[in-house]
C-alpha cells in the first residue's frame, strides 16, 4: 500500500455530515474502464464510510475524481483514509492517506444551577 498525501484544511468532521473529496491521479494507458473508491476505516479493513466505486475512463493524464461520502460515520473516533483504484475490474492500487479524519463525540451534559 502506498502513502497518499492528503491536503485538507481541517481534519475535523461532524458525524452524519456529507463531504466530498477530490482525488487527482493518472491511470495509464488511456481507455481503461476504471473505478476509484474513497473509504474511511477505524481498523484498516472495515469500510465504516465509503464513496462507493466511482466509475471513470482513464485518459493517461491526471484526472480529478469526485468521491462523495454521503454521511460521516460514528463520532468519537479517528478514521484512516483509504483510496482503492481498479482497472477493468482488477484492483491495481491501494493508497493510505498520510492524515486521518477526526469525528468528535460529546456526551449528554449535566447542567446544575
Percent of the chain residues topping a pLDDT of 70 = 100
Mean pLDDT of all residues belonging to the chain = 95
Read off the pLDDT band of 2 (50, 70, 90). confident
User: Cα separations (Å) of 87 from 11, 66, 72, 111?
Assistant: 30, 17, 27, 56
Q: Is the pLDDT of residue 8 over 80?
A: no
Residue 3: pLDDT band with limits 50, 70, 90: confident
What is the C-alpha to C-alpha distance for residues 31 and 86, in angstroms, rounded to an integer? 13
pLDDT grade, residue 7 (50/70/90)? confident
Which pLDDT belongs to residue 9? 77
- Taken in order of first residue, the domains within the chain and their CATH numbers are 2-103 (2.60.40.10)
Amino acid at each position: 500500500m502506498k502513502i497518499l498525501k492528503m491536503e485538507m484544511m481541517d481534519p475535523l468532521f461532524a458525524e452524519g455530515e456529507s463531504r466530498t473529496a477530490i482525488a487527482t491521479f493518472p491511470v495509464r494507458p488511456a481507455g481503461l474502464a476504471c473505478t476509484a473508491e474513497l473509504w474511511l476505516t477505524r481498523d484498516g479493513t472495515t469500510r465504516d464510510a465509503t464513496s462507493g466505486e466511482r466509475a471513470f475512463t482513464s485518459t493517461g493524464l491526471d484526472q480529478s475524481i469526485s468521491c462523495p461520502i454521503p454521511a460521516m460515520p460514528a463520532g468519537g473516533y479517528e478514521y484512516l483514509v483509504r483510496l482503492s483504484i481498479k482497472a477493468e475490474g482488477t484492483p491495481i492500487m491501494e493508497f493510505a492517506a498520510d492524515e486521518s479524519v477526526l469525528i468528535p463525540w460529546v456526551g449528554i451534559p449535566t447542567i446544575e444551577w
